Amino acid sequence: MDNKRNNKDIFEIDELIGVLNNMVPDFMDVIEIRYSVLRVINFLGPIGRRSLSDKLDLTERNIRTASTALKKQGLINITQEGMNITTRGKNTLDRLKYVFHILKGLKVLEDKLKGILKIEKVIVVPNSSEDDPFMDREMGKTAANYLKTCIEDNSIVGLTGGTTMSQLVMEYRNDKNKFNNITIVPARGGLGKRVEYQANTLVQNLANKLDCNYKTLYTPDFLSKDTIESLLKEPSIKEIVELIEDIDILAFGVGRADAMAGRRGLNDEEIEALIEKGAVSEAFGYYFNESGEIVHEISTIGIKLETFKKLENLIAVAGGSDKAEAIVSISKLNKNLTLVCDESVAKKIIYKYKEE
């Protein structure tokens, strides 16, 4: 009944959009500009018109027209320091996301992409351009909201590291005392230069927001098999590895093989060898080709591929059209996947793979 109601609502909105387009051909442009202006003010306020113009690549005249209209509606305040969003503006922005989703045809994109990838769910986040500076935050917030719907009492939640996951954790709103007996764990070990993006740091930050238990795993990325066997005998390591194998929900970023290989210290020759093998994605110490087949493996401690393939709650987050092949590759591994991506990569995948 709910699905029928939702489909009926979408049809009615689509019909209304058609009528409005006939009456006011430029109404969509006006809405998109005002939505973009309100969105950036929400992220960066207080902000002046010139800075806003630079961020959105719009003329100051367009910014002045949009900001004047938003101020009249009580959605922003304009002071000497710049423009700030109001409480009413924040509430309007949240409500606009659903309408804007329909207006931009993102529901259609989601359905097409879900059919091509043959996965559980796709959530497409709108972006104003390929290099939208707020895209990671939008995807992080969307993924955080979706993660919240997956968590229940006694859940064991796994996180990987990376900039995308750091945005998810940052945008997750505090949920203290909402769930019982939750544990957050890193999906793999690894130490690096940017501690704030490491899985252990993100695990602790998310656990603080949920006021729940957490475990950390401080082991380097590259280990010999003998070293791994030795470490797995340590009680503290053994405990966390057993928890990782019991993960109920896993949230992770999707990495391009060449980019991830570079971050993990591989030299140019090694990266070229990976590319020649057809590697397009990396996850959990494995490099995959476009068909989801392993072409290279790194000895590391963390979630096993067999465990990943059995999970029922998987949340992958990826943005940018250059991630298209990597997303397609990872989607081959587990059909229970929920993908949160941006508009640009969704369109690229649909364009490139629709005939297949």
Q: Indicate if 78 and 133 belong to the same structural domain.
A: no
Domain boundary residue among 71, 103, 135? 103
Q: Indicate if 95 and 227 belong to the same structural domain.
A: no
- Is residue 199 within 8 Å of residue 285, measured between CB atoms? no
Q: For residue 355, what pLDDT is reported?
A: 56
Give pTM, 2 decimals: 0.87
In this prediction, the residues of the chain whose per-residue pLDDT falls under 50 are 1-2, 4-5, 10-11
Q: For residue 24, what pLDDT is reported?
A: 65
Distance, C-alpha 283 to centroid of its chain: 15
Q: Indicate if 96 and 207 belong to the same structural domain.
A: no
Question: Which amino acid, 271?
Answer: I
Distance CA 264, CA 298 (A): 10
- Residue 249: enclosing H or E segment and its boundaries? strand 249-253
* CA 53, 58, 61, 65 torsion-angle sign: negative
Domain boundary residue among 103, 135, 156? 103
Q: Which two tokens stand for residue 288?
A: 């995959």
Q: Indicate if 81 and 116 belong to the same structural domain.
A: no
**Burial of 22: CB neighbours in 10 Å, binned 0-12, 13-18, 19+:** exposed
Distance CA 78, CA 350 (A): 42
Distance CA 199, CA 203 (A): 6
User: CA 217, 222, 228: angle at the middle one, nearest 5?
Assistant: 65
Q: If you search the block for the tokens 């290099």, which residue do you land on?
A: 131
Which domain does 219 fall in, by range? 106-353
pLDDT digits (tens, 9 = 90+) for 181-221: 999 999 987 655 678 889 999 999 999 999 999 999 988 76
Q: Which two tokens stand for residue 2?
A: 């709910």
Q: Indicate if 163 and 292 belong to the same structural domain.
A: yes
Beta strands (DSSP E) in 144-245 are 156-159, 183-186, 213-214
- For residue 350, give the nearest of 130, 119, 113 by alpha carbon: 113
The domain that contains 51 carries what CATH number?
1.10.10.10
Distance CA 293, CA 284 (A): 14
Distance, C-alpha 61 to centroid of its chain: 33
Q: For residue 29, what pLDDT is reported?
A: 81
Distance CA 55, CA 43 (A): 11
Q: 213 - beta bridge partners?
A: 183
Q: Indicate if 119 and 240 belong to the same structural domain.
A: yes
Domain boundary residue among 48, 83, 103? 103
The domain that contains 250 carries what CATH number?
3.40.50.1360
Q: For residue 12, what pLDDT is reported?
A: 60
Q: For residue 17, what pLDDT is reported?
A: 64
Written as one string, the DSSP assignment of 106-170 is HHHHHHHHHHHHT-SEEEEEP-SSTT-TTHHHHHHHHHHHHHHHH--TT-EEEE--SHHHHHHHH
Count how many domains the chain has.
Answer: 2
| DSSP designation for 14 | H
Q: For residue 5, what pLDDT is reported?
A: 47
